[in-house]
Chain A
Amino acid sequence: MIKFLQIFGQGILYVILSPFFLAILAIYVVYTAVVMIFLFLKMIILFFAGKSIFSDLPEDIEAKQVIEKARADRETKNNPQSQPGPYPYPYPPFGYPGYPYPPQPGQFIDQPEVKEIDAKPIDVEEEDMKDEQ
């Protein structure tokens, strides 16, 4: 019942205030129409300048940088990997990044297939030539 009376009271309030609401709405309709026209013109001008009105604001860029930095820090914290430093000697040991171990005995190494070609022995050809002469 109290809820019903509240809604009833609000109804009376809305009826009394409705002219103000409508006036505010009318003002905003006119204002937004002006904003729309202004933004449309701005969009056209920026389009020919190779820019967009929907590009990130400086504050957005700053926020993205902060978030990226925080994310990178968190990942570094969660996965602590010791980065290999520069090796003093010109030839680092096997197993160092970029220097794999040499093939072990019996280890299969990938290499291109060699195609076999049928060819006559050179001596046979020479003998045939002599017989014809």
Chain B
Amino acid sequence: MIPFLIKISENEKRLLLVLLAVVILLFVLIGLLGLVVKRIMTSQAKRADTFMYDLVRTKAVKSPRHFRRVGFKKNHRLLFLQSWIPFLILLVSAAFLITYMAVANHWDLNVFDYFGTDGTDGEGFTTLFFIFDFPNAPKSTFFGIEIVSDWPPIISEPYLSAKAWPSYVFVPIFLTGAIWYIVCVQAFIARTWRILVLSKKAFEKSLENYDATKNPIDNPLPPIQ
């Protein structure tokens, strides 16, 4: 193995360095993205504290099980309040596409088609983007592995197609609704997790730093808040 490593050429060394830098950068970016998502979810989960605060302080909820039951109910209501608009957007966009396909009797409409019959009459939203031919991208062999080493050739350049108007209407509206809805679902997951954590934490009885000799037995009740 070591003689093989010694044999690598200058080009291979450079490629190795670039590859390493790209991989490190990629993982750091993913790590940062995860950090941002984590912070957003932490702030979204604070709503669970808000809607359960009075109930816990006034002892209206009396046990972890009761806490979870009420918390989940309120969480469902908040989900409904937050996500009825994106849900409606999704339904409207789906209804639009189905209606179009029914009226035009065109049930095999592909909203991601970019080519059509001759590369100028695609019926999908991807007619507005560059399409790369990734399977035929230039590759280099590195340690016996084939790695993409350059930009792939372009199959299709952006153009407007009259046949694609339903896709132009449907895809942006659907994507807006879908992303909005996923953010609402993410907030729902964050609150659910927070409710599960709080249901244990709010009723936890800890003997940490408790000194039995300093606490008389004639006052077993906890101090009133």
Are the CB atoms of B24 and A8 closer together than 8 Å?
yes
Q: Tell which of A28, A39, A62, A67 touches B188, judged by Cβ atoms closer than 8 Å.
A: A28
Are the CB atoms of B79 and A11 closer together than 8 Å?
no
Which of A51-59, A85-93, A124-132 touches B? A51-59
Contact with B along A61-75 (1 / 0, CB 8 A): 011101100000000
Are the CB atoms of A4 and B28 closer together than 8 Å?
yes
Contact with B along A2-19 (1 / 0, CB 8 A): 001011111110110000
Bound CA span A59–B52, Å: 10
Measured between beta carbons, the chain A residues less than 8 angstroms from B70 are: 57, 59
Which secondary structure dominates where chain A touches chain B? helix
Contact with A along B132-148 (1 / 0, CB 8 A): 00000000000000000
Are the CB atoms of A10 and B35 closer together than 8 Å?
yes
* A29 touching B80 in the complex, CB below 8 Å, given contacts A63-B54, A63-B55: no
Bound CA span A25–B27, Å: 21
B8 an interface residue at 8 Å Cβ cutoff?
Answer: no
Are the CB atoms of A54 and B77 closer together than 8 Å?
yes
Measured between beta carbons, the chain A residues less than 8 angstroms from B28 are: 4, 7-8, 11
Bound CA span A35–B77, Å: 10
Measured between beta carbons, the chain A residues less than 8 angstroms from B34 are: 10-11, 14
Bound CA span A95–B63, Å: 55
Are the CB atoms of A15 and B60 closer together than 8 Å?
no
Are the CB atoms of B55 and A60 closer together than 8 Å?
yes
Q: Which residue of B lies closest to A15 (CB)?
A: B30
Contact with A along B78-100 (1 / 0, CB 8 A): 01110110010000000000000
Bound CA span A25–B182, Å: 8
Measured between beta carbons, the chain B residues less than 8 angstroms from A119 are: none
Measured between beta carbons, the chain B residues less than 8 angstroms from A39 are: 76-77, 80
Measured between beta carbons, the chain A residues less than 8 angstroms from B60 are: 59-60, 62-63, 66
B160 an interface residue at 8 Å Cβ cutoff?
Answer: no
Are the CB atoms of B188 and A11 closer together than 8 Å?
no
Q: Which residue of A lies closest to B62 (CB)?
A: A59
**Residue among B28, B33, B60, B76 with the highest chain A CB neighbour number at 10 A:** B60
* A7 touching B182 in the complex, CB below 8 Å, given contacts A28-B189, A63-B55: no
Bound CA span A63–B28, Å: 47
Q: Tell which of B55, B73, B185 touches A25, judged by Cβ atoms closer than 8 Å.
A: B185
A117 an interface residue at 8 Å Cβ cutoff?
Answer: no
Are the CB atoms of B79 and A35 closer together than 8 Å?
yes
Measured between beta carbons, the chain A residues less than 8 angstroms from B87 are: 33, 36
Bound CA span A54–B57, Å: 22
Contact with B along A31-48 (1 / 0, CB 8 A): 011011001100100000
Are the CB atoms of B84 and A67 closer together than 8 Å?
no
For the complex formed, measure the closest distance between the CB of B207 and the CB atoms of chain A, giving whole angstroms: 29
**Residue among B32, B74, B84, B185 with the highest chain A CB neighbour number at 10 A:** B185
B44 an interface residue at 8 Å Cβ cutoff?
Answer: no
Measured between beta carbons, the chain A residues less than 8 angstroms from B61 are: 59
Are the CB atoms of A7 and B32 closer together than 8 Å?
yes
Closest 4 CB pairs of A and B: A11-B31, A11-B27, A7-B31, A11-B30
13 chain-A/chain-B pairs, Cβ below 8 angstroms: A7-B28, A11-B26, A24-B189, A25-B186, A35-B76, A36-B83, A43-B80, A53-B80, A60-B55, A63-B54, A63-B58, A66-B60, A67-B54
